[in-house]
Amino acid sequence: MLQAIRDGSKGPVAKIIVGLIILTFALFGIESIVALGGGEDAPATVNGEEISEYQVQQAVLMQKRRLQTQFGENFDPAIFKDELIRQSSVENLIQETVVKQAALKSGIQFSDADIDVLIVKSPDFHVNGKFDRDQFDLVLRSAGFTRATYRQLLRTSLLTQQLQNAWQTTSFATPLEVKQIANLEAQTRNFSSSTLSLAEMKKGITVSDEEIQQYYDENTESFMIPEKVSIKYVELKASELAKSVDISEDDVLEHYEALKADSNSKKEYRAAHILLLDSDEAAKDKMATIQMELKNGKAFEDLAKEYSQDDTSKFSGGDLGFADESVFETEFSQALTGLSVDGVSGVVETRDGLHLIKLLEVRQPEVAPLTELKDSIELELREEAKRVVYLEALETLKDEAFSSTNLEAVASSLDLEIQMAGPFPQAGGEGVAANRNVAMSAFSESVLSEGANSEVIEIEDGRAVVLHLNEFFEAKPKELTAVNAQIKTILINDKAVAALNVKADETLESAKAGTLQVKWDSFAEKTREFTGANREVVSTAFTLGISDDSPSYSLVDLQNGDKAIVRLEQINRDVDAQVGESQEQKMARIKSNNEFKALFEYNLEESDIEKG
């Protein structure tokens, strides 16, 4: 299943889905998965157009598949709640419908013929360079679509892209706008900041036992011990089964002989030949002449170059290279294998003509003496036998686990020991419970509610377990003594934050009144990219305005919980930034994106949307 999803994720369906995801994410900052189709129920309508239950179910399914592919074996369905995925799917389908309707209202259309052309031309639906209907259906099924729903998806994607392209390609920035933005980005500012420490506010804060008790009573659900289980399990180990494997001397010898036979089967011969393509009397007389010259001491290679009619080998002295005997015709092969190295055959007739054959060289894989290979052969045989025994036992374990209602019968059939693990929560525990699949299986409905054995869980190669519920422990609140220190820390922090907020407001008012006496950290002529102060302080300094040459002030929350008061003292606008092509392109992109987003928000606001 996952492989089919991965294969499908490389095709045009996934590209269109990803395109819609990117569009929605760019506009709204959330993830989306899209599916289209008909259905009876309507979880939402947009200007009278229904978003069906089928569409939502498809979107949820596609989202789950994507998550499974992304997280692999670490995917935990418990983390990704169906209701949250469903809510996200409905919202995104609404947004996509709004954009699609805006495109249609703008006069953008794609005919059925346009859709057909795109489908037929897509290489993902091709086999041997041509559109294949079966391949088309296979790709769609792997992504969870029918022909009709895919065509609808493709049409929506094209409408959305065309609308966005229309706005982006017609948007432009004037030279004045580009210059103003460049100057704005290049300007510097003089500002100061003073930090109000949360840690300082915590000093001296006390929390009574009554406050701790009250917080515990009001927030008991935040201090729960999660539900846990303890399990019984049997474990099948290939390493244990290997102890019963016996490898005899005869087994080693038999394997060694098999290695030698395999080596012989891989023997290769380097042959050379002189070929005359005819087999008539004239050819035989000519071959006799060649044999006479060979007998008189002329080199075989020279004779091949002079007389052979095999144009592919004659210029290399008739050398045919290495090949096993099966490559040659029967008569040729029999003559060749009967020769010793440097021996020359008599005249051999095949369907190709007349041959003189010379054996140049023989090679085959070398097999070391048995004394050198004995230990490695025994180890190999033992591993192979262990694997066979383990797989047979694994099949028995599967059968017994399925047919039995307890572990005793399973343990007895394979002489395994029943072991215990836990208690542990759904997140897992120690030992065998540290395996994610074991923990998930322990909390599965069949094990937890039905009292059945689990399926066989292979936790690693050569190691498998079957588990059964031993005891279930309900979730319960932790004792107050166990969370006393935690609650005290929470209350101190809450009090300190509240006090810090009050102090920050008072400090801001004093600063505006000119009566604030604090130590300021001052920064002069700094740009937006300045890194010598907190990022939040710099960002705030560049969002403040200034008038009448009087400083302006603002509070800002820092990441560590502190607060800072920011004082903007001067804006240095006397800059003449150089404008290049990159700034012009950047400004055009910003404008096109903002204009398209404004178009969407306008249509969204004007749409009549109802949610079921």
User: DSSP readout, 563-606?
Assistant: EEEEEEEEEE----PPP-HHHHHHHHHHHHHHHHHHHHHHHHHH
Residue 6's pLDDT is 39
Residue 11 corresponds to which tokens in the numbers above?
């095709």
Residue 131's pLDDT is 85
DSSP 522: E
* Conformation bin of residue 570: beta by default, left when phi > 0, alpha when psi is -120 to 50: beta
Helix pair 82-105, 581-606: axis angle to 10 deg:
100
Residue 64's pLDDT is 74
What's the pLDDT band for 265 if we cut at 50, 70, 90? low
Average pLDDT over residues 29-52: 60
pLDDT in tens, 325-341: 888 898 999 999 899 99
Mean residue pLDDT across the chain: 82
pLDDT in tens, 92-102: 888 888 888 88
Percent of the residues in the chain that have a pLDDT greater than 90, as a whole number? 31
Residue 78's pLDDT is 56
Residue 79's pLDDT is 61
What's the pLDDT band for 507 if we cut at 50, 70, 90? very high
pLDDT in tens, 133-179: 888 888 887 777 788 888 888 888 888 888 888 777 777 777 777 77
Average pLDDT over residues 383-408: 83
Residue 222's pLDDT is 87
What residues does 41 pair with on adjacent strands? none
* pLDDT of 423 above 90: yes
Residue 139 corresponds to which tokens in the numbers above?
């790709």
Give yes or no for a contact between 291 and 356, defined as CB atoms under 8 angstroms apart.
yes
* pLDDT of 244 above 60: yes
* pLDDT of 370 above 80: no
H or E, element range at 132: none
What span, in angstroms and rounded, lies between the C-alpha atoms of 262 and 373? Answer: 15
How does strand 476-477 pair with strand 130-131? unpaired
Tell which wins on pLDDT, 434 or 31. Answer: 434
Average pLDDT over residues 38-58: 76
pLDDT in tens, 551-595: 999 999 999 999 999 999 998 877 776 666 676 777 777 777 888
* pLDDT of 7 above 60: no
Tell me yes or no: is domain 267-363 CATH 3.10.50.40.
yes
Residue 3's pLDDT is 39
Residue 137 corresponds to which tokens in the numbers above?
């259906």
Tell which wins on pLDDT, 196 or 143. Answer: 196
Ranges 58-62, 239-243, 424-428: which has the least confidence: 239-243
* pLDDT of 13 above 70: no
Question: pTM score > 0.85 for this model?
Answer: no
Tell which wins on pLDDT, 312 or 254. Answer: 312
Range with top average pLDDT, 125-134, 253-262, 516-525? 516-525
What's the pLDDT band for 5 if we cut at 50, 70, 90? very low
What architecture (CATH level 2) is domain 2-170?
Answer: Orthogonal Bundle (1.10)
Q: 473: Cβ–Cβ under 8 A, 6 or more apart, which residues?
A: 227, 228, 229, 230, 423
pLDDT in tens, 179-194: 777 777 778 889 999 9
Average pLDDT over residues 264-285: 87
Quickly list DSSP for 142-156.
Answer: HHT--HHHHHHHHHH
What's the pLDDT band for 127 if we cut at 50, 70, 90? confident
Q: 375: Cβ–Cβ under 8 A, 6 or more apart, which residues?
A: none
Residue 2's pLDDT is 31
Average pLDDT over residues 491-504: 94
What span, in angstroms and rounded, lies between the C-alpha atoms of 176 and 169? Answer: 20
